[in-house]
Amino acid sequence: MVVDLSRALAGPQATMMLADLGARVIKVESPDGDDSRHWGPPFVGDDGISTYFLSCNRNKESVTANLKSEEGRSFLTALLQVADVLVENFRPGVLERLGFGEQRLRELNPRLVICSLTGFGHDGPEWQRAGYDQIAQGEAGLMSLTGPAGEPTKVGVPIGDLLAGMNGAYGIVAALFERERTGRGRVVRASLLSSIVGAHAFQGTRYTVAGQVPTGEGNHHPSIAPYGIFRTADVSIQIACGNDAIWRRLCQVLDLFVEDPRFASNQLRVQHRDRVTAVLETVLRGAPADHWLKLLEHAGVPAGRVRTLDEVYAWDQTRSQGLLVEVDHPTLGPVELPGPALRFDDNPYAGAREHHTHPPLLGEHDDSVRAWLGLTSAALDPGDKPWASTRPA
């Protein structure tokens, strides 16, 4: 069972991934709810439900508790004593001030795996900074690599949050596996900063090894050519020549001079990228995208469209991969949500679950979770019997 104290996106992304794998996730929210419940527009339905919240909270239960109150802390104590995992993305030090520092958590439950997600890390000179995705994208260098040169651009999704959530989820799974051998939990840490820097890939080694400082290069690859977006007679398409054999096949499709010495190798094509692009587009603009995509597919040249999201979700290939799931929401009725990325051979269309549940209403499971813990209104009195005596088996 996972206790989710997180809000916004990084932590909820991690816990949703665990929920997709079959974990029971109990989301503990303040009486005002997760921040993302208030992020919009768009809001949908008569109650004004945030689509942002819907994106990262399927398969969870919601309970409310004021962790600054005695009742709230007592409730959380009872929950943590039976939990396998705790996920939190408070600013560093907040959980300890609430009375749930690492030592206290170890006393409550030595087997507990604790996942702490932060903006810039739990130590170092700037450890106390708040973590917001766009700030992290800029500070971690990602914006300098995205968009045209001289125009730093954020990625169109909160990629730092998403990567931090993914790193947190796989760290939790590793810690749970280790716990089977040691019998003890451990602390898993990830941050928006570490997750973005960890995804620099070849752009990072361009600097650390070659001493180059990369900049944005728009929609073309800095180290491979042709590899990017090209205009046709109607809409643009993408072409990716990952090796010289594909380049030769592309030249045959476009009836170009394959042996042009300026373009004989990838290194030369990168050096003359603007000229390569101009030569290709001179031909490509003579016919519409559908014409070229059919020819390129037949020739074995990787190519594709640039789809809008409505086109993506209507695409048969998207639906064939189980990337949309339908849930029955108590106020919205049946709604479709972007689904889990993982597929398993015995259940290929729904992650590890046979059925997905709707992102919960605020406090929807207040009564059922407290009843499961054996708590009543009387039991919530600090003078009542110890919490451990009412824990479920």
Note the pLDDT of residue 108: 97
Q: List, for residues 241-290, the tens digit of each pLDDT value.
A: 999 999 999 999 999 977 778 899 999 999 999 999 999 999 999 999 99
Other C-beta atoms lying within 10 Å of the C-beta of residue 177: 9
**Predicted confidence band of residue 379 (pLDDT cuts 50, 70, 90):** very low
Task: Classify residue 191 by burial, with Cβ atoms within 10 Å: 0-12, 13-18, 19+.
Answer: buried
- Strand duo 324-329 + 237-240: pairing: unpaired
Cα gap 245→301, rounded to integer Å: 9
Q: Average pLDDT, whole number, for the chain? A: 92
CATH class of 227-306: alpha beta
**Predicted confidence band of residue 390 (pLDDT cuts 50, 70, 90):** very low
Confirm whether 133 is a catalytic residue.
no
Q: Which of 189-203, 293-307, 351-365 has the lowest mean pLDDT?
A: 351-365
Note the pLDDT of residue 276: 95
**Predicted confidence band of residue 90 (pLDDT cuts 50, 70, 90):** very high
Distances, alpha carbon 343 to alpha carbons 58, 68, 148, 170, 207, in Å: 17, 41, 36, 16, 36
Note the pLDDT of residue 149: 87
| Fold match flag (2-199+318-390 vs 227-306) | no
Q: Is residue 20 within 8 Å of 353, Cβ to Cβ?
A: yes
Which of 384 and 284 is assigned the larger pLDDT? Answer: 284
Cα gap 78→205, rounded to integer Å: 48
Strand ordering across the sheet containing 227-230: 227-230, 237-240, 303-304
pLDDT higher than 70, residue 380: no
**Predicted confidence band of residue 348 (pLDDT cuts 50, 70, 90):** low
- Tracing tokens 């399927």 back to the chain, one arrives at 58
Q: Which of 124-133, 205-214, 369-378 has the lowest mean pLDDT?
A: 369-378
pTM: 0.91
Tell me whether the omega of the peptide bond preceding residue 302 falls within 30 degrees of 0, making it cis: no
**Predicted confidence band of residue 350 (pLDDT cuts 50, 70, 90):** low
**Predicted confidence band of residue 391 (pLDDT cuts 50, 70, 90):** very low
Note the pLDDT of residue 259: 73
Task: Classify residue 158 by burial, with Cβ atoms within 10 Å: 0-12, 13-18, 19+.
Answer: buried
Task: Classify residue 103 by burial, with Cβ atoms within 10 Å: 0-12, 13-18, 19+.
Answer: exposed
Q: Is residue 218 within 8 Å of 147, Cβ to Cβ?
A: yes
**Predicted confidence band of residue 376 (pLDDT cuts 50, 70, 90):** low
Note the pLDDT of residue 351: 62
* Residue of 4, 123, 161, 384 with catalytic role: 161
Q: Is residue 190 within 8 Å of 168, Cβ to Cβ?
A: yes
Q: List, for residues 58-88, the tens digit of each pLDDT value.
A: 999 999 999 999 999 999 999 999 999 999 9
**Stretch 105-131: mean pLDDT, rounded?**
95
**Predicted confidence band of residue 19 (pLDDT cuts 50, 70, 90):** very high
**Stretch 327-338: mean pLDDT, rounded?**
96
Cα gap 121→216, rounded to integer Å: 26
Percent of the chain residues topping a pLDDT of 70: 94
Domain boundaries, the chain: 2-199+318-390, 227-306
Note the pLDDT of residue 255: 93
Percent of the chain residues topping a pLDDT of 90: 87
Helices (H), 21-88: 51-54, 70-81
Cα gap 374→362, rounded to integer Å: 21
pLDDT higher than 80, residue 341: yes
CA nearest neighbour of 72 among 98, 94, 104, 92? 98
CA 164 to chain centre: 7
Domain 2-199+318-390 coded CATH 3.40.50.10540: yes
Which of 355 and 236 is assigned the larger pLDDT? Answer: 236
pLDDT higher than 50, residue 8: yes
**Predicted confidence band of residue 343 (pLDDT cuts 50, 70, 90):** confident
Cα gap 162→102, rounded to integer Å: 25
